[in-house]
Structure 1
Amino acid sequence: MGGHGQEMAAAWLAVTDHADRLRPQPLRALVAQPGRAQALTAALDDLTLDLTKEKLDAGALAALISLVQASGAPALRDAMADGKPVNNTENRPALHMALRGSVAPDTPGVAEVAAVRARFLAFAEAVRSGAYVAADGGRFTDVINIGIGGSDLGPVMAVRALAADADGPRVHFVSNVDGAHLADVTRGLDPARTMVIVASKTFTTQETMTNAHSARAWLRAAAGEAGDGHLAAVSTNLDACAAFGVPEDRVFGFWDWVGGRYSLWGAIGLPIAMAVGGARFERLLAGAAAMDRHFLEAPLEANLPFLLGMVGVWRRAMGWPTVALIPYDQRLERFPAYVQQLDMESLGKGVARSGAPLERSSGPVIWGEPGTNAQHSFFQLLHQGTDVIPVEFILAAEPRETMDDHHAKLVANCLAQSAALAFGRSEEEARAEMAAKGMDPAEIARLAPHRAFPGDRPSLTILHRRLDAFALGRLIALYEHRVFVEAAVWGINPFDQWGVELGKAMASDLLPAVKGGDASGFDAGTRFLLDRLAALSAG
């Protein structure tokens, strides 16, 4: 299921040759080539991927397709869908597609998916309808989801993205062990009207359980032990949940074959269902399933996840180590953070599936904010900085809100930014524009270098008709599968995350010293910081 050495070496050589050929060619010239839109765009229904402003051409794309084929990515994709243990370091399958019905129902391990989904969706509807009530018999008006990582980033992103469809209790999120997070979320909420969901597979995650104990104390301060009726859990540790005060009928499980960053499709998505209802949650799944079918069936040259993954690999071949993800949609404000975890936790590896060191750079640094806000912060760097930073724009054709010409202006800004990054403005053009305005020649000469834009900054644009649950599910699955393609080409296992373990273990070791215990076993720098913190705390 991996590429053969000589075949991969030849495929990589072809890709790097094309990168060397295209690197000095200006995007102005590439974009002007006839037939470019046909060669470098693809669509799944309304979802459209435009690569015309990437430093690619048909020859480079053909080389990337050959690289993907040599890597064994299509066979690895099929193995994932068949339930094979593609997570080789943990000897597990990766069956997040099963949570949206995209694998055969007789695939080992997935028989319980539908029943668990029915249970947590029924509970969400009971809370939303008032069939399940608070300790005093009143309806819940607010829900707090306590989790971290995949138990937080996916649900919070989806709830914010679907705010236009939210018709249930208000849903809030607490993730950080910093007590300010819980304090700020609970401030202004009535514990008598609040449900708390604790999302932790083992029910031992330090940050989550610290917040959970404090939240339970907040509930009990208002309602006594009857406040435990305001608790629900997403976990596999039934004994720990029961000891905490959550009976089995309010515990919803998930499986070790779904990693946290791929888990919003199952019971981790309970807060999404609380916010928008079971029917819209099913539409979220349906959108993801549509992308799954496309990923499994479409030819590589028209397969959106494969094309997007090839672009990711291409950018690293071009020497670009970071990507800005800019959704021109305020409700996708947390999508960059979600993709940041999805991509960087999956591809941030320095060793191959075999354990051998990687021979090439792997995943990029992902960051971003919504447009147009981002234009007024870091776009200065994107346009005139010394480094080339590719950009991924996401844009809907139709708004969810009808407010005068707001959306037209949003669209105009998005399209203008991609063009400005690609084509820039020469110093001669800057001089001509200032001269046309009647500026003084000396002032023109002084300002012209500052008002020139180098251009030649690549970007891609993802278009869709309208942001709703189906469209969101499809978009998330597109990025999931894109990460899988890149991992296959680099020979990485994208389903483990050993890199998060060391810091957590060291934090546990440090905690007694932070509380005033013996610090002699730590390094001098850490001892200095502990001493300084103690002095500052003592006033």
Structure 2
Amino acid sequence: MKNINPTKTFSWKKLKNHFQEIKKITINDLFITDKKRFENFSINFENMILFDYSKNILNQKTINYLVNLAKETKCFDAIYSMFNGKKINVTEQQSVLHTALRYNNLNFFLKDKKIYNNIDKILEKIKNISNDIISEKWKGYTNKKIKNIINIGIGGSQLGPLMVTESLKSYKNKLNLFFLSNIDPDQLISIINQINPEESLFIISSKTFSTQETITNALSIREWFSKNINTNLNKNIFSKHFIAVTNNINEAIKFGIDKKNILPLLSEIGGRFSLWSSIGILISLSIGFNNFQKLLQGANKMDYHFFSTPIEKNIPIIMALISIWYSNFWNTETEAIIPYCDNMRFLPSYLQQLNMESNGKSIDRNGNKIKYQTSSIIWGDVGTNGQHSFFQMLHQGTKLIPCDFIATAIPNHNKYKNHHTKLIANYIAQTKALAFGNINDYICKQNIYQCCFGNKPSNSIFLKKITPYNLGLLISYYEHKIFIQGVILNIFSFDQWGVELGKKITNYLVENINKNIQKIIKYDDSSKGLINFYKYFN
């Protein structure tokens, strides 16, 4: 990738001057002057996803300058490098291969057959384990069928599978899914109170097999399991109830996992991009391997669009450019993700990690301190619930907050189509109200407190229906949006050293707090006070 400071480009300077012109123009003005604005500022992707960005404060000149910014920062060079396995994760000297996990043609993208052979073997293992458990061929040590799947993992090892399995709940089979991520014992206790060890399969998901929260929870589960079975724990019993997803095969074996129950995790796959990998075993168990494959196929289709479509019609790149437009020229600080689909309620949390862990950086690829904005703060909630809480601020508050509204045209349940019609009416009404407000209405002229001034930007993302394939499309294009933002903003999106620092300090603190010393006199004054308060009660 080229290391180009975006603020030094000709396009950035043009955008700064252009901003002074367009900041006085309203969204309403833009629609009045362009009678085909929706047609000109929307992209229909194969009737599977409609991306409408017409309700943004931008015109064709804005788009032209933004497109030129992408060109000046050599976006397609970076895309080519990622898809062809170049070591773009420079600080860790690794390739970035999550797109290789969803390939469907060896002549497309990466040309390394060895990697594809490894991926094929992993997929075959996911398929076999999934089919054996779903068909009840795989049974527990007392010959009872497996009813409960407990995923022990955190971060990408939890958020990805949780978001996908909940989003695709209408495809879910009879297996009960549980996610044990938090080190807080309340979550652990809540789960073990609901399950029978004889009917449960535990998946320990950790790339390094050393993540503190995951291994602590896994050790506690192993202890609970051995105490609650009616015989002595042995390797044969353990192998019927525990599997691992990891890059550290040796540590998993030391823990007691049978080698045949270990699904390898490629080192080139970051946690927040890992749902397509062996981490996806939970998705496959929940919706079946065939549907898991459709999820991969949808993502691959968006990969192809991203790789081969000119910038002007490239959905992920346009989305990335719009985000940069607001954060760096309008000085917005946050973006709201609002899915009008209850099953997709975990999407904002998933995208929060994907975006903020990737692009929450303040040092550029040249090693210099950054003086412009990188990652926005990502937050959100499911509609219509949000309309009765934070939407008040969106409509009448002092913050300018770009929003992504996401909905599905075809409901999951036709029996309640009336509900879905009202849901979609709310979805469209909110984007309309944000954009145009009510300043011309009689009620606003009579009472200033009821005025909504509008001119609040949003994107509308309309899926045909929530299916594994379409969800794959959606996730993939958010992944690529975030990657392109990182490319243009001249940062490394695939490391997360800020996360690592907290882990190191935690491990040091645990060791010291556990020492049999009544008062700790090390550390800064605040940390010392907090430790001493804790030790007073323990």
Q: TM-score, normalised by structure 2?
A: 0.94
- Match in the other structure for 1:420: 433
Matched ranges for 1:233-252 at <5 A: 233-252=244-263
Q: Say which of 66, 69, 73 aligns to 2:68.
A: 66
Counterpart secondary structure, 1:112: helix
Give the letter aligned to residue 253 of structure 2: A
Counterpart secondary structure, 1:89: helix
- 1:318-351 deviation line (CA, Å, top 9, x unaligned): 2111000001011111011000000001110001
Verify the 8 A CA contact 2:284 2:291 in the aligned structure 1: yes
1:24 matched to 2:24? The reply is yes
Counterpart secondary structure, 1:127: helix
User: Relative to structure 1, is the Cα distance of residues 179 and 57 closer, same or farther in structure 2, using a 3 angstrom cutoff?
Assistant: same
1:430 matched to 2:443? The reply is yes
Verify the 8 A CA contact 1:83 1:108 in the aligned structure 2: no
Q: CA deviation at 1:419?
A: 0.6
Which stretch shifts more, 224-233 or 60-69? 224-233
* Whole-angstrom CA distance in 1 between matches of 2:284 and 2:441: 56
User: Gapped runs of 5+ residues in structure 2?
Assistant: none
Which stretch shifts more, 42-51 or 107-116? 107-116
- Match in the other structure for 2:407: 395
Q: Say which of 375, 378, 385 aligns to 2:387.
A: 375
* Whole-angstrom CA distance in 1 between matches of 2:296 and 2:8: 36
* Whole-angstrom CA distance in 2 between matches of 1:90 and 1:395: 38
- 1:359-392 deviation line (CA, Å, top 9, x unaligned): 3111100001110011111111111111111110
1:114 matched to 2:120? The reply is yes
Root-mean-square deviation (CA, aligned residues, Å) is 1.7
* Whole-angstrom CA distance in 2 between matches of 1:16 and 1:367: 27
* Whole-angstrom CA distance in 2 between matches of 1:5 and 1:394: 33
Q: CA deviation at 1:191?
A: 1.5
1:39 matched to 2:40? The reply is yes
Verify the 8 A CA contact 2:9 2:72 in the aligned structure 1: no
* Whole-angstrom CA distance in 2 between matches of 1:381 and 1:7: 31
- Match in the other structure for 2:110: 104
Counterpart secondary structure, 2:92: coil
- Match in the other structure for 1:336: 348
* Whole-angstrom CA distance in 1 between matches of 2:311 and 2:268: 27
Matched ranges for 1:124-273 at <5 A: 124-223=130-229, 224-225=232-233, 227-228=237-238, 229-273=240-284
Q: CA deviation at 1:4?
A: 5.3
Q: CA deviation at 1:3?
A: 6.0
* Whole-angstrom CA distance in 2 between matches of 1:480 and 1:4: 21
1:456 matched to 2:458? The reply is no
Q: CA deviation at 1:138?
A: 1.1
- Match in the other structure for 1:468: 467
Verify the 8 A CA contact 1:8 1:70 in the aligned structure 2: no
User: Relative to structure 1, is the Cα distance of residues 352 and 107 closer, same or farther in structure 2, using a 3 angstrom cutoff?
Assistant: farther
Q: TM-score, normalised by structure 1?
A: 0.94
Q: CA deviation at 1:107?
A: 5.7
* Whole-angstrom CA distance in 1 between matches of 2:409 and 2:342: 14
User: Gapped runs of 5+ residues in structure 1?
Assistant: 433-443
Q: CA deviation at 1:355?
A: 1.2
Q: CA deviation at 1:189?
A: 1.4
Q: CA deviation at 1:449?
A: 2.2
Counterpart secondary structure, 1:405: helix
* Whole-angstrom CA distance in 1 between matches of 2:491 and 2:444: 50
Verify the 8 A CA contact 1:427 1:452 in the aligned structure 2: no
- 1:5-57 deviation line (CA, Å, top 9, x unaligned): 69952111112222222222111111222221222111211211101101111
Verify the 8 A CA contact 1:8 1:67 in the aligned structure 2: no
- Match in the other structure for 1:360: 372
Counterpart secondary structure, 1:207: helix
- 1:504-537 deviation line (CA, Å, top 9, x unaligned): 11111111343354522211111111222233x2
Counterpart secondary structure, 1:183: helix
- Match in the other structure for 1:435: none
Verify the 8 A CA contact 2:136 2:145 in the aligned structure 1: yes
Q: CA deviation at 1:267?
A: 0.3
- 1:72-91 deviation line (CA, Å, top 9, x unaligned): 11111011111111111111
Counterpart secondary structure, 1:156: helix
* Whole-angstrom CA distance in 2 between matches of 1:22 and 1:517: 65
Identity %: 32
